[in-house]
Amino acid sequence: MTTGPGSAREAMERTAQAVMSGNLAQLMGDITPEALAQMMQMAPQGGTGLSIANMPNISGYNLLQFGPQPDGGELFHATFESSLGKATLGLVWKQIMGQWKIASVSLIGIEPIPGTP
């Protein structure tokens, strides 16, 4: 689970690996309840269409770090890849009680592979 403070980049790498491996316990340890609620709202309505919630077997990821934000957080864009396409999230990390946590999540974009639902 979540360990010492380290850096926001280390925390982001740890969480991206957790997403790829399906390590839900690690992911839950790294996210605030508010950010989790934001993630839940990203599920597709009606159960169709590609979303971060229904991507099968994440095969890779790419991280872009944008650095400190005015609110004290660290902004990253994380692009996750699967056989259906790519989904990019904006993640703001903040130190909460001495640990880096995902404080907010936003959907930046979805790129389905042509010909997939």
d(CA 26, CA 20): 11
Report pTM.
Answer: 0.83
Contact 85, 116 (CB under 8 A): yes
Domain-wise residue ranges, the chain? 8-42+51-112
Q: What would the pLDDT profile of 46-70 be if each residue is shown by its tens digit?
A: 555 555 656 678 899 999 999 888 8
pLDDT (tens digit per residue) in 62-96: 999 998 888 889 999 999 998 888 989 999 999 99
Beta strands in the chain (DSSP E): 60-68, 74-82, 85-96, 99-112
Q: Which CATH architecture describes the domain 8-42+51-112? A: Roll (3.10)
CA angle 101, 64, 62 (to 5 degrees): 95
pLDDT for 53:
59
Q: Tell me the C-alpha distance between 57 and 98, whole Å.
A: 32
